[in-house]
Amino acid sequence: MYNTVNRNQLAEFFLNYKRNLKSIASTVDVTGGYAYSHFYTEGGSSSYDYHQTTLNAASAYKTEYYLISFFGRANYTFKDKYSLTVTVRDDGTSKFSPKNRFGVFPAAAFA
């Protein structure tokens, strides 16, 4: 026998700005945002031994953790031929110790 309760919450927000700069044959596209996730599980279980006709001890559990992210991306295009993309994320989780809770992840690309 078992029972469980799961609650997952998610919220995401972002802003985007795009501008064509015809005087220099360029396009700029910038996006920034925030994401929040909350995961909660609670429940319990017990088992019955039909051979011994006894109820085994019940076990209960509860888990909860959070994920938070800040992110940004900038795209620059020149003459519809060259493209530069720069991104950065700052992700955090309650699963890690407070000293190591957040990590920054940058990236760049040119094509």
Query: Per residue in 71-85, pLDDT tens?
Result: 999 999 999 999 999
What residue numbers bound the domain in which 76 lies? Answer: 2-110
Query: Per residue in 1-11, pLDDT tens?
Result: 778 899 999 99
Domain count, the chain: 1
Whether residue 60 is predicted with pLDDT greater than 60 in this model: the reply is yes
Mean pLDDT of the chain: 91
Whether residue 91 is predicted with pLDDT greater than 90 in this model: the reply is yes
Give this prediction's pTM. 0.72
Cβ atoms of 71 and 44 closer than 8 Å: no
The beta-carbon contacts of 8-14 under 8 Å, at least 24 apart in sequence, are: 8/37, 8/38, 8/39, 8/40, 9/36, 9/37, 9/38, 10/35, 10/36, 10/37, 10/38, 11/35, 11/36, 12/36, 14/71
Locus of tokens 């469980």: 4
Query: Per residue in 61-74, pLDDT tens?
Result: 899 999 999 999 99
What does the pLDDT read at residue 44? Answer: 86
